[in-house]
A and B are shown apart, each in its own frame.
Chain A
Amino acid sequence: MRKALLAALVIGSILLALYPMVATGYSIRFMLQLFMWVALAQSWNLISGLTGYVSFGHVAFFGTGAYTAAILVTTHAWHWAPASLTGGIAGVVLALIIGYPCLRLKGPYFAIAMLGLNEVMRVLVSYFEGLTGGGLGISLPILYASVQIYYAMALAAIAVTVTAYLIISSRFGLRLMTIREDEIAAEAMGVDTARYKLYAFLLSAFIPGVVGGLYARDQGYIEPLSVFPLLTTVTMIVMALFGGKGTVWGPVLGAVLLFSFQELVWARFLYLHQILFGAIIVFVVLIMPRGILGVIQQRYHLSRSL
């Protein structure tokens, strides 16, 4: 089973690596966005799926990364790759500022602080016009780099999925999952819960920042509404929940299924599509809390790190 999965992964990666040589512009962009959603859903999984602390504002890191990278590229003439990595670091710094006060406490403080963060970042970005261009946004210099960004996005998706695998199959992951199941018991067993929650949160903020930077480069233009939409957070959450939160492959599965569905059918019906997302969240929480992969794992007795 394990060998078959490994072989499938190797073959899959080779095919995806060769894909840009044969694919058209549209299909490259489709895959590029799919990788982006895998990376975002998986990042959300790192904090919320593993520790049970719900982040309602993960798009804030995405937007912060996008602005950081866009500013570095336009006013300091950086290459997009180091600029995006710096965007990731900006995401981590923001996570530290919010996570330190909110994750020391139990209960819904963290969730609500994250709910507000997105709005606040949008207000701040609009306010500091000198740096960010305010409501007018930032236009990046024209560059045709779809194929390179395709690889960069793929790398981000792989990096965060490998991180999820390493965490879930390590003692660190066990500590996080103990926090999720019973935080008081975790503390009684000597787990420094505040510290591990913060570590998980910082890890979960890095890749959205990087991906935000890549998105800014790929789109060539960003403005406050385009990089801080609530819908992006909703989509991450739905994908991770639907596929199976707290698992390695659940968010990947959720992203592939829902993104394909969204591109093929639903993108034309914006509001209906979001009503459906809300309904999926309610449905998964009530009927199928482990998500698709969780149900499969339980039925066939598969290992958690699968």
Chain B
Amino acid sequence: MSIFITPAMVGQVVISGLLAGALYSMVALGLALIFGVMRVINIAHGTILMLGAYTTFWWFHLLGINPYLSLLASMPLMFLLGLLLQRTLVTRVVDAPELSSLLLTFGISIALVNLAQLTFTSDLRSVEFLTGAFLVGPIALSKSRLISFGFAVTITLLAFWFLQKTKLGKAIRATSQNSEVAMICGINVPRIRLYAFGIASALAGAGGSLVAVIFAIQPEMGQVYTFKSFLVIVLGGAGNYPGALLGGMLLGLVEQLSSLFLTTQLSEAVAYVLLVLVLLLRPTGLLGGRAR
């Protein structure tokens, strides 16, 4: 625990917070997409992130190719997995009470995590690539985090461009505003749900690949990301896609700033207190959302 807090230290944590926050934003955007289009909270979102992380680990371990290129494998693979899950399982509970979709995705998550335990073992794995940091004045920037930040921002911007400009993206936004009206306008809603789940899973997979280069990974890592992604959605306002960006940055900042005053061990507890406080004081999210 530190007693003296210098401006350089504050600068350091603000930058670390933004670097971490971009990753949270990207992953949470996926969860927000699924929630927006189907009103389903996908408990298995973090599990898909974990599978993306293992894709990168094996890519690097077996092929020895630059781990960032594994995004080309993890994103399509998780996209396909998302399609499969939506097509075979999730689609059956979209219109059922919330309990069904929560329990269903929880069951999927438990099965996949343990399948990973069985096949990959529960050992901690890491991708040793780009260790070290750039020094800018008194501030140290971890190379892997900086590059991950760049990828996360690029992928998130692409996703937003897709949502704003393409026909499919507009159909997704229309469906999340009102699926019945969208259907009347001739949008094939089940198909949109399928794509939304696939794209969301690809975003989670990309998150996993970028996380794998920074931290050690293991099969149970996903649950924390499901929780944090949800917290980001709550911060930004449910159903509010730009809100997810703000929420992610904010979560990254709060976590890093709290590490100035508390130990990093407690950062998870800080995120939790933040969730309870927001639900207590401003349950519509900071930017205001819909569908409570």
Chain A residues with CB under 8 Å of chain B are 48, 52-54, 56, 97-98, 100-102, 104-109, 111-113, 115-117, 119-120, 123-124, 126-127, 180, 230, 234, 237, 241, 271-272, 274-275, 277-282, 285-286, 289
Q: Out of B41, B98, B266, B280, name the residue touching A52 (CB < 8 Å).
A: B98
Q: Out of A106, A111, A126, A234, name the residue touching B102 (CB < 8 Å).
A: A111
Q: Which residues of A contact B118 (CB under 8 A)?
A: 271-272, 275
Q: Which residues of A contact B272 (CB under 8 A)?
A: 116-117, 119-120
12 A-B pairs with CB atoms under 8 Å apart are A54-B106, A98-B276, A102-B279, A108-B230, A109-B283, A112-B230, A119-B224, A180-B97, A275-B110, A285-B104, A286-B89, A289-B100
B65 beta carbon closer than 8 Å to chain A? no
Q: Which residues of B contact A237 (CB under 8 A)?
A: 103, 106
Q: Which residues of B contact A285 (CB under 8 A)?
A: 93, 100, 103-104, 107
Q: Does A115 contact B97, Cβ atoms closer than 8 Å?
A: no
Shortest beta-carbon distance from A178 to chain B in Å: 13
Q: Which residues of B contact A52 (CB under 8 A)?
A: 97-99
Whole-angstrom distance between the alpha carbons of A120 and B274 in the complex?
A: 12
Q: Does A119 contact B107, Cβ atoms closer than 8 Å?
A: no
Given contacts A108-B41, A119-B227, 7 further A-B contacts (CB under 8 A): A115-B223, A116-B268, A119-B223, A272-B118, A275-B118, A279-B111, A285-B107
Shortest beta-carbon distance from A173 to chain B in Å: 17
Shortest beta-carbon distance from A272 to chain B in Å: 7
Interface size on B, residues (CB 8 A): 47
Q: Which residues of A contact B131 (CB under 8 A)?
A: none
Q: Does A116 contact B227, Cβ atoms closer than 8 Å?
A: yes
Q: Which of A109, A116, A280 has the most CB of B within 10 A?
A: A116
The interface residues of chain B, by DSSP majority, are classed as: helix
Q: 9 tightest CB-CB pairs across the interface, nearest first?
A: A278-B111, A281-B107, A278-B110, A274-B114, A282-B107, A101-B280, A271-B118, A108-B41, A116-B227
Q: Which residues of A contact B109 (CB under 8 A)?
A: 278
Shortest beta-carbon distance from A273 to chain B in Å: 8
Q: Within residues 72 to 130 of chain B, which ones have a CB less than 8 A from any CB in chain A?
A: 89, 92-93, 97-100, 102-104, 106-115, 117-118
Over the window 248-292 of chain B, the binary record of Cβ atoms lying under 8 Å from chain A Cβ atoms (1 yes, 0 no) is 000000000000000101101101100110011001000000011
Q: Does A48 contact B99, Cβ atoms closer than 8 Å?
A: yes
Q: Which residues of A contact B230 (CB under 8 A)?
A: 108, 112
Q: Which of A102, A104, A108, A109 has the most CB of B within 10 A?
A: A108
Q: Does B103 contact A281, Cβ atoms closer than 8 Å?
A: yes
Shortest beta-carbon distance from B167 to chain A in Å: 30
Q: Does A278 contact B107, Cβ atoms closer than 8 Å?
A: yes
Q: Which residues of B contact A278 (CB under 8 A)?
A: 107-114
B204 beta carbon closer than 8 Å to chain A? no
Q: Does A120 contact B99, Cβ atoms closer than 8 Å?
A: no
Q: Which residues of A contact B106 (CB under 8 A)?
A: 54, 56, 237, 281
